[in-house]
Amino acid sequence: MKNQFNRRKFVTAGAFAGCALLVSGFKGFAHLQNQIPDPKKLNYCGYTCPKDCVFLEASVKNDVELKKKAYETWEMKERFGVAEFDPDKIFCFGCKTTDKPVGIRLQKCDVRNCAIDKKLDSCIECNDLKTCEKDLWKKFPDFKNAVIKMQTNYFANKL
* Residue-wise pLDDT tens digits, 97-128: 899 999 888 998 999 999 999 999 999 999 99
Share of the chain above pLDDT 70, in %: 78
Burial class (CB in 10 A: 0-12, 13-18, 19+), 95: buried
Give the C-alpha separation, 111 to 129, whole Å: 10
CB 108 within 8 A of CB 81: yes
DSSP annotation of 101 = P
**What is the rounded (10 degree) CA torsion for 99, 103, 107, 110?**
-100
Asked if 124 and 39 count as a contact pair (C-beta separation under 8 A), the reply is yes
Instruction: Kindly indicate the confidence band of residue 29, based on its pLDDT and cuts at 50, 70 and 90.
Output: low
Residue 151 identity (one-letter amino acid): Q
Question: Quick one: how far is CA 130 from the chain centroid?
Answer: 19
Q: From 47, 35, 39, select the one nearest 92 (Cα to Cα).
A: 47
CB atoms within 10 A of CB 132: 17
pLDDT score of 34 more than 70: no
Q: pTM, whole model, 2 decimals?
A: 0.75
